[in-house]
Structure 1
Amino acid sequence: MLLRRFTALCLLTLCAFPALALDEKDLLPVDKAFVLEVQADTRDRIELRWDIAPGYYLYRHRTSVKAGPGFSAGALQMPAGEKKHDEFFGDVETYHRQLKATLPGTADPGAGTVTLEVRYQGCADAGVCYPPQKRTVEVRLPGASAGAGAGAAAAPAGGAPLFNPLARNDGGGLKLPGSAATQSLPLPSEQAFGFEAIVDDGNRLLLRFTPAPGYYLYRDRTSLALEGAAGIRTGKPQWPAGTSHRDEHFGNVVVYFDQVDVPLPLHRERADASPATLVATFQGCQTDGICYPPMTRRVRLALPAGKVSPSGEAMVTPLVITPLPSGRKPADPAAIDPANPPAPQPLVVRSNDNGGGASATTPDASADNAGRSQPPGNAGEGDSLAWILLLALAGGLVLNLMPCVLPVLSLKVLGLAQSGESRQHARRHALWYTLGVLVAFTAIGALVLALRAAGQAAGWGFQLQHPWFIAALVYLMFVVGLSLSGVFTLGGNLGGVGQSLAQRQDAAGDFFTGVLACVVASPCIAPFMGPALAYAFTAPAAVAMLVFLALGLGLALPFLLIGFVPALARRLPRPGAWMETFKQVLAFPMYLTAIWLLWVLGKQRGIDAMALLLAGAALLALGLWWFERNRWRSRRAGMALGAVLVLLALVPVWGVTRMEPPARAASEGTVAYSPEMLDRLRADNRVVFVNMTADWCVTCKANERNVLDRDTFRDTLKRVDAVYMHGDWTNVDPQISAFLEQHKAVGVPLYVVYGPGAPPRVLPTVLTQAIVEDALLRAAR
């Protein structure tokens, strides 16, 4: 039922005629469903009335009136409507049967008529919505002179519709460049533009676009991407020559009036076979008729084994395409009988490469949605590796300023200053700390690349989606804080490791602190990191690991410089009693970090998980305190009991993984992300701001606090009538993972702005109000 309603909505949005919907016998034309009458009783008051057919309703918030010169209008006055929760717009007011509205104002003394621009949108109770409507009405004002307003449009008698919907319709994103009297009824999108895709071999696909007679396809409004096949991406489509066309919307373009076959090479970083989904977004028009919004088709494919592309280039084997009759000539589309178009021909492919055979595929008809976003070009293409490594180095350096990492760095610098050791020892500390950072970054990079090679979506910070990892981090931050506060130290009979690893001034302590700095940096994506990580996730494995090592080197660089540059080391404060106090003060950022991580766990698994882990933390503190108390008294039984308490404290870490995620309601003024809802909004030609975020993402929360949660951002959304769509990646969500991979994003945050008939625009990782406002205004234009 939901699929049926969604398909009907897409068809109505694509076509100005409701008669083209799936239930055309039951749906009224828009101007019969909502009959508009306008009358001016006085020179300072204009009445508008919509007679609404039974089974239909109008939205209050989608109704507006703008007066032209000669009438200074006030705010449109409408009665209270029926309150309801709408699946598209949230909490709204609607009108059934009739809507009477008043436009107050003051007419100029010599004005005989006033022109009104009336906008409205409504739906059928059955669940099908019409595109937004715009009508231009010329109203005669009472008391005008005999010659004033001559030629004004008069309202027809008998309650008939005032206007022909073809004569003036700017709603729904459908353009009507031709004469309304000569246009044929437009076809639904899947009939107007056929699309097929088959596998030629492991390194190439063959696509076929089939415009119906009287329709044409834009070459440069087409984008192609693969989903579900990590390490395999689309190359540049090999379009044949098309027809030059002067288009009123896009200028000089190349179009295709006839069936066109397009080889599509594949870039491969892996040779094995893989299932995949081809996502094709394209746009076309009816000759002298409507232009459709961007439409998306998805085709499931079974890619055979192929050849790895050298240096990231696509492998292209010779291809012979059997010529097929098109059935008509582009120069004379009128010669074809629309009622009896030529039957589509099957795809015929002969490959000169024996490495793979052609296999037919079946389009996923349920996903034929208008307006699915398309990824931009692969991040880092065209940039030199040296530039990417420089970006990675800068991104790692900026990570040191993040609130989780800064206390760890301060702790090591403090320890170095406190030790008062020689320059040789300072260098050794710096090298072991750097080695810990690099090993940790290498491990994370190898894990991410391994998961992606296995076809699983994994981005920067993905490990924080798992409650057990968050719980372990809470314990780690808490234990480091207890150690800094002097509650316990590890050593003596526990393997002789000396003091707490975070404070130790030997190789193990330095190495562990480097690993800790990398772990606590994982919730953050600093400036410059995004392009570098995006390049790493699409580059060959060896090159990707170089990028991860550059990130690690940037993170370790401040401590490395202090160890190797004497001038910097001499600027460190002299050891003294103040350093013990400062060490204890550093415990509190660790406690705050543990509290923040505990909050993230509450978002993932609810308040019960927070309570369980707090109980575990209390048991952990008791065990460590009891162990420390008995260690100094050499009481082995007491030390054993403390160790048992520490082990029991680990049970809540397992317990939180057994809890179900709590229900998450969308915030006020936002729409929860789903591919289907995004497609609906794009088909309706709405401006959409998509925010992919997570509660564990520090950069996300900073952007929301500084920009996205402020009134100025909300006001900008209202100015351009934009929808704010929110995707929460705090827990694992395959739909959001697919969206991130579609845009070649390395993780969250990801901000994408969509505008009518335009490709999506990806915004920078760190937002400002100026960046967001500029993107929304450009999308609205």
Structure 2
Amino acid sequence: MNDIKWIVAPWRAVWLILSVILALCAGTARAQTFLPPEQAFQASVSQIGPHTLQVDFTLARAVYLYRERLEARVDAGSGAPPLWLKWTLPPGQSKHDPTFDKVLEVYHGDVSGQVTVPDTLRGELPLTIVYQGCADAGLCYPPQKKQLRLKLDDHGQILSVTGAAAALAPVSSNGADKPAQTAGDDGGISRALASGQWWTVVPVFLLAGILLSLTPCVLPMVPILSSIIVGQKEHVSRGRGFALALSYSQGMALVYTALGVAAGLLGQGLAAYLQHPWVVLGFAVLMVLLALSMFGLYELQLPPAVQSWLGAGSSRLPGGKFISVFAMGVVSALVVSPCVSAPLAGALLYISQTHDVVLGGTALYAMAWGMSLPLLLVGLSAGSLLPRTGPWMKAVKALFGVLMLGMAVWVARPAWPYLQSLVGAAPAVSAHRSVLPFERVRTVAELDAALAQAKAQGKPVMLDFYADWCTACLEMEHETFAVVGFQKPQDFLRSLEKAGL
């Protein structure tokens, strides 16, 4: 058993490499080119009743639509205010939005809603459908609108709706129709995963499985499982040893394939849960616990009761038989999974974003093959490929603990704003408003007068352009204006706010 412990140490650093790779998997959407709004959100309108229209939205991968941002209005003309139509919508998925600092309902994938047209309308009227959404990577699109023509008879029944095939038009022309590039767009692994192509995704997961096989939980099991598989027989041919190892690997692959299929079925719902601040913080705490175990403060392992139950179940299986070895592979997958939960969660998060059941099952099957590779090699090499031990491994272990602490900080970064809101970030925002007040201007004449007054006083001017739908404006309010250092220039800044956009 001492030899097995020494085998563990040199491969602990592999866990860090694997975590980085699978973090790229989970963050693929952040590293790819943002789609223009007409590709991110596709909408079509059709008549399904004398007073009812159906609006079908098709959303691209890794984007979502706000439920409360859906609007439908009719311009009645003659100076009358627009008439807001009633929506009938399915329930959305709850998502904590740090920008709006509240839980909102959002839609992923395909969603349909019905719009009721009152029977008091007559003739041909303009109909406008307005909606807004964001990309999972953090870019929020401005509100989009679709302009239609609604024709009704003398009884208020819908005769036709035209313009449904027209291209989506943004509310304001701000260049949103051009793809936005991110700084991380040149990552080879990210591009491969972003493509969603089998011949690029599956090899990456196979490589991830190979790295997982070298982690402290999996590698020490190789010599133990090798002796169990052969049923304590003294002489086993290499061919039979390889066949038994293959049976074991297929049992483990069954578990991971089921996880991949489940992730594909759950889709973006799983991704939404894994992106919650408390889940992110949970992974960060896990990194810290693993780092402390690298420093030798304690040993992380399954509870003794669980270990005894699994060990008793596996010991009752006769070694050397293909069916029993297959069952042992299933059991070992359950034993190993808690130890590799963080990278496995990253893999499942990526699969959930693809919303592809077949790709999910295939990718996790490939990862299970990679995890089984050492056992297959041992079956062919009679154990000669096992790594050798050495006292230098203690230094590697300590270094890996430091690196994992750094990873814990990196993983927790997206949750910092959420934590700040819990400990009093909101009062800080209020404080900056009292120290650095904005003067509201509503017309061009008021703006010109304020600029002239500031020029006469020799003071610079800062303009804050704001709209309720503008997520970037809310980010400025909650993050930039709340910084204490930002309040220092109030003696020479004259702040203006132009509203009503």
**TM-score normalised to the size of structure 1?**
0.26
Greater radius of gyration (CA): 1
Structure with the larger helix share: 2
Larger RCO (CA within 8 A; separation ≥ 6): 2
**TM-score normalised to the size of structure 2?**
0.38
